[in-house]
Amino acid sequence: MYFGTDYYPEHWVYPYAGTPEEPESRWQRDAELMVAAGINVVRMGEFAWGLYESEEGKYDFDWMKRAMDVMANAGIKVMLGTPTAAPPIWLARKHPEILPLDERGLAKHEGTRKAYCMNSSVYWDYCKKIITELARALGKHPQLIAWQIENGLGGHNTESSFNEETRRDWHSWLKAKYETIERLNELMGTRFWTQIVTRFEDVPMPMQAPTVYNPALLLDWMRFSSDTIVAFVKMQADLLHELTPGLPVTNNLRGLTRCFDHFDVADVLDFVGVDSNATIKSKSSENACGIDMLRSLKKSNIQTPGGDTGFWVIEQKAGNVNWQEVNSLVRPGIVRLFTYQCVSRGATGLLYFLWRQARIGSEKFYGGVLTHDGRGENRVYKEISHIGDEMKLLAPALEGTKVVAETCILLSHDNEWAMQQGPQPNRYFNQREHLQLFYNALHDRNISVDFARPTEDLSKYKLVIAPSLKLLAGGEADLLKLYVQNGGTLVSTFNTGLVDEHHIAPDNGYPHDLTDLFGMEVLE
């Protein structure tokens, strides 16, 4: 089993550590403390672009190679991140067109991470350049076992931008989907409020407007924005597969809370990577639900560094976070509890965020394995060292195991987006909370649960729960019928089948295309 931490060697050089004579000397001490804690893998480099390329075309990967060499001498493997989540300031200054525009048409400025538009061809070109140079410089290092693509996809409300290149891509996406403007007007229902268009180029992006947009347009916008994110990830995955064949790629996905199709992203990754937050607001069943959702994103064609069929928790919080209203310390034993929860749900790699509390930047009071003093005498370091000892003992027993579930809960991003956009029958209804009720009942009885899209093969499950699938495509309804005809048990709830995949309400009764399956019709 891989047991590790997220390490930022760039934070621990003189004057923040080390000496003028040996500015990188702290790295050796960190490696020694890692080995003592049972750590055998680190993730590094996901925000290092500005150091790799401090000026355009002038690359320096030697410092990272030295850090990797320190890990090699300690027997610690390395996962490297592509640094595209934090473009250097010089790039935005030279090409301000890469900066994302918000729904008011105002630019979000440089000087932090995520300051880019994913539809920018200029940004894509620079990403390809830095990834290519990085892979050529470090891709053959013997300690490198995997790549993490990007960091925090969609974080800080960056799933969409409203730049001119986005507009062009949006119109091209619509053309590919609908083919003719007549078909777009028909399926999008533009007769309502007579927002009919005669050219694809006239279809608006849903920018700030006096009132709500057509929910069908909003749904397509969400799909388009998700496809943009998937394309951005796929570009990097394809490039890394070409440059470093045999090294698997992943991303640190988070709890299906961001507005893109996580199943689609997982399809272009070799294995699923997870962020897990042990916070004061999380109940055990809520954390378990999030982990099982993420684990379920990829059920086949899994390639991890260890060759197993599990997933990795790339950021398991080692202590308190820094983004809640009250960032309380995590009680003794809780990190161990959450670690075992991840392992029990199939995690075969687990890395704690972060190794040491940074002395600089906006995350200096984020809980770390080490505190600011770096001595290794603190409570969390001792607790994680204890966990490391336990993982060494458990690793042989865990090898080759996997989670097998006979119960499944259906989850559809299209459905969630349809429930989030536009007026709803009940604005206080939350589909995720509704889903959680079913999960809690199964969790409390130690019944394993998978999550799946309605389009997946459901034949291996004895029970399928379809909680409040307001948006249900005709093909999805047919697959649910097939599942039941073959002996499966389907449980559905209210608010099901109110609209189809085009956000059109049926004229043949609710739930649309399923009245015969359930032997009932909802009249009002």
pLDDT, tens only, 394-421: 999 999 999 999 999 999 999 999 998 8
Distance CA 449, CA 443 (A): 8
Pairing of strands 407-410, 347-353: unpaired
Distance CA 8, CA 64 (A): 10
Distance CA 427, CA 419 (A): 9
Stronger pLDDT, 282 or 331, i.e. the higher one: 331
Could you list the beta-strand ranges (E) of 229-384.
249-250, 252-254, 273-276, 311-317, 347-353
HEC-encoded secondary structure of 27-79: HHHHHHHHHHCCCCEEEECCCCHHHHCCECCECCCHHHHHHHHHHHHCCCEEE
Asked if residues 369 and 5 have their Cβ atoms less than 8 Å apart, the reply is: yes
What percent of the chain has pLDDT above 90?
A: 90
Tokens standing for 411? 């989850």
Distance CA 338, CA 347 (A): 12
Q: pTM for this one?
A: 0.96
pLDDT, tens only, 78-119: 999 999 999 999 999 999 999 999 999 999 999 999 999 999
Q: Is the peptide bond before 423 cis (omega within 30 degrees of 0)?
A: no
Average pLDDT estimate for 340-345: 95
Label residue 329 by pLDDT band (50, 70, 90): confident
**Domains of the chain with bracketed CATH:** 2-89+118-159+246-398 (3.20.20.80), 407-518 (3.40.50.880)
Residue 407 φ then ψ, to 5°: -120, 140
Asked if residues 305 and 349 have their Cβ atoms less than 8 Å apart, the reply is: yes
According to DSSP H, which parts of 139-256 are helical? 164-178, 181-188, 215-243
pLDDT given for residue 48 in this prediction: 98
Label residue 321 by pLDDT band (50, 70, 90): confident
Distance CA 423, CA 83 (A): 39
Q: Which residues on adjacent β-strands are paired with residue 107?
A: 101
pLDDT, tens only, 149-177: 999 999 998 999 999 999 999 999 999 99
pLDDT given for residue 123 in this prediction: 98
Asked if residues 464 and 491 have their Cβ atoms less than 8 Å apart, the reply is: yes
Identify the burial level of 399 via C-beta atoms within 10 angstroms of its C-beta, where 0-12 means exposed, 13-18 middle and 19 or more buried.
Answer: exposed
Distance CA 357, CA 366 (A): 6
Measured torsion, CA atoms of residues 428, 432, 435, 440, in degrees rounded to the nearest 10: -100
Cα 28 from chain centroid (whole Å) = 32
